[in-house]
């Protein structure tokens, strides 16, 4: 039996209009453009300011654009997976709300929470549904309103995050030489102490005290997370290269999670690749958690060529991390 391969056949993205610059942040907390630029590599991040709009708003616009661009009717979509840590509400899933907003009524939908690795986990999940032979059109969307869980009085975390969404179409590959070839996903719950949100879940539901203690925001021990992020993303990516016999010069693009420019550079160094083989847009959007990978792929789509060797890699809360090796399935178009 010939194995069905899954491929990305289209990509779209959406980010809010409002750009919060380092200069503006410097008026809010004790920080500077110089510190943020040299330590993290971010210049500005997009923020969804309209009240009452959540991640599903961002995600549904990305999905609508994707349907239009790929000339897909909502009724053809069999499954929509949303990767997010900032769903509109604890339940139902943001994926259900995005499906409703975009008219996807013939399929099912669910969320995946693997923090910054959510998009990679969702992509691997979608690939497995396609490889089963039972599904032909799946949308994976990473959608995050990180500003809703960012403490804008905490200078250690507030410069880092931004809001955005990116969506890809996954279909059976028409050609066995392209598509998703391999992946490795990992997690280690021991990482919870370094990166989490203290309250608002079932262990510590929201109360007057939790709000007063500012426990509904991202808590991160930056240095510990930094070290794990570099070693785990590099190890997972090198494993993809080794297993699939990809030399540094054979790699067209590395698509790394965008949390810190220094992390990205360290991972690229360990892989033996140059900076011009790496997709980097952290300066414009910051860390958009599950949306960083599709946002990169969308921005680079026009440069991508059929057969390009691409490695995606992520690291996030959990800890969760992994890498995926794919061969790009089509030549970039100019529809954007």
Nearest approach, Cβ of residue 282 and ligand UT7 (Å):
10
- Which of 169, 259, 280, 297 contacts ligand UT7 by CB under 6 A? 259
Residue 223, interface with ligand UT7 (CB under 6 A)? yes
257, 260, 296, 309: which is the annotated catalytic residue?
Answer: 257
Angle in degrees, CA 326, 331, 336, rounded to 5? 110
Q: Is 152 in the site for ligand UT7 (CB under 6 A)?
A: no
How far is Cα 72 from Cα 276, in angstroms, rounded to an integer? 33
Could you say which residues in the range 49-108 bind ligand UT7, by CB under 6 A?
Answer: none
C-alpha 57/C-alpha 89 separation (Å) is: 13
Can you say whether residue 130 is alpha, beta or left, with left for phi > 0 and alpha for psi between -120 and 50 degrees?
A: alpha
Nearer to ligand UT7, 66 or 146 (CB): 146
Minimum distance from CB of 82 to ligand UT7 (Å)? 18
27: contact with ligand UT7 by CB under 6 A: no
Of 96, 113, 260, 287, catalytic: 287
Rounded to an integer, what distance in angstroms lies between the CA atom of residue 114 and that of residue 81?
A: 12
CB of residue 106 to ligand UT7, shortest distance in Å: 35
309 as an active site residue: the answer is no
Q: Note whether 44 and 22 are within 8 A (CB).
A: yes
Stretch that binds ligand UT7, among 164-172, 173-181, 222-230, 327-335 (CB under 6 A): 222-230
Interface residue with ligand UT7 among 40, 80, 238, 329 (CB under 6 A) is: 40
Do β-strands 253-256 and 309-316 pair in parallel, antiparallel, or remain unpaired?
parallel
Looking at 103, 172, 222, 332, which residue binds ligand UT7 (CB under 6 A)? 222
In the complex, which residue's CB is closest to ligand UT7? 222
Determine contact, residues 239/323, Cβ cutoff 8 Å.
yes
Query: What burial class does residue 303 get, using C-beta atoms within 10 Å of its C-beta: 0-12 exposed, 13-18 middle, 19+ buried?
Result: exposed
Q: What DSSP designation does 154 have?
A: -
Binding-site member from 316, 320, 324, 327 for ligand UT7 (CB under 6 A): 316
Contact yes or no for 313/232 (Cβ under 8 A): no
Q: Is 280 in the site for ligand UT7 (CB under 6 A)?
A: no
Instruction: Tell which positions 157-216 bind ligand UT7, by CB under 6 A.
Output: 159
Out of 4, 33, 35, 198, the only residue in the binding site for ligand UT7 (CB under 6 A) is 35
Whether the bond between 103 and the residue before it is cis, its omega within 30 degrees of 0, is no
Which of these segments, 242-250, 257-265, 297-305, 326-334, binds ligand UT7 (CB under 6 A)? Answer: 257-265
Residues 85 and 290 sit within 8 Å (Cβ to Cβ): yes
296 interacts with ligand UT7 by CB under 6 A: no
42 is a contact residue toward ligand UT7 (CB under 6 A): no
The residue whose two tokens read 């490795």 is 184
Q: Comparing C-alpha atoms, which of 145, 144, 110, 150 is closest to residue 126?
A: 110
Residues in contact with ligand UT7, counted by CB under 6 A, come to a total of 20
Question: C-alpha angle with apex 312: 260 to 120, nearest 5 degrees?
Answer: 95
Among 18, 21, 39, 53, binds ligand UT7 (CB under 6 A): 39
| Catalytic residue flag (residue 287) | yes
- Within 13 Å, how many C-alpha atoms sit on residue 255's CB side? 27
Yes or no: say if 284 and 163 are a contact pair by the CB < 8 Å rule.
no
Residues engaged in binding ligand UT7 (CB under 6 A) = 31, 35-36, 39-40, 116, 155-156, 159, 222-223, 225-226, 229, 259-260, 263, 287, 315-316
Which sequence positions are flagged as catalytic? 116, 257, 287
């Amino acid at each position: 039996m010939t194995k069905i391969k899954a491929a990305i056949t289209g990509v779209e993205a959406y980010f809010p209009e409002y750009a919060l610059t380092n200069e503006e942040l410097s008026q809010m907390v004790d920080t500077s453009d110089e510190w943020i630029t040299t330590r993290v590599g971010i210049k500005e991040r997009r923020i969804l300011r309209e009240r009452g709009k959540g991640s599903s708003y961002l995600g549904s616009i990305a999905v609508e654009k994707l349907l239009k661009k790929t000339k897909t009717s909502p009724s053809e979509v069999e499954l929509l997976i949303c990767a997010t840590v900032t769903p509109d509400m604890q339940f139902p899933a943001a994926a259900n709300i995005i499906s409703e907003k975009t008219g996807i009524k013939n399929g099912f939908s669910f969320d995946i929470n693997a923090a910054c690795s959510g998009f990679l986990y969702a992509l691997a999940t979608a690939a497995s549904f396609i490889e089963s032979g039972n599904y032909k059109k799946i949308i994976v969307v990473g959608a995050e309103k990180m500003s809703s869980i960012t403490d804008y009085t905490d200078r250690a975390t507030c410069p880092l995050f931004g809001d955005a969404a990116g969506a890809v179409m996954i279909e059976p590959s028409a050609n066995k030489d392209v598509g998703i070839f391999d992946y490795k996903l990992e997690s280690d719950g021991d990482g919870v102490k370094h990166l989490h949100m203290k309250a608002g879940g079932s262990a510590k539901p929201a109360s007057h005290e939790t709000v007063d203690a500012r426990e509904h925001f991202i808590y991160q021990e930056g240095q510990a997370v930094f070290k794990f992020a570099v070693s785990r993303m590099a190890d997972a990516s090198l494993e993809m290269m080794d297993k699939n016999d990809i030399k540094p010069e054979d790699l067209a693009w590395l698509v790394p999670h965008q949390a810190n420019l220094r992390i990205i550079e360290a991972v690229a160094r360990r892989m033996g690749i140059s900076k011009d083989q790496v997709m980097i847009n952290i300066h414009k959007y910051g860390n958009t958690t599950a949306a960083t990978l599709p946002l990169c792929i969308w921005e680079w789509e026009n440069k991508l060529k059929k057969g390009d060797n691409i490695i995606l890699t992520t690291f996030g809360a959990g800890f969760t991390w992994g890498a995926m090796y794919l061969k790009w399935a089509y030549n970039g178009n100019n529809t954007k």
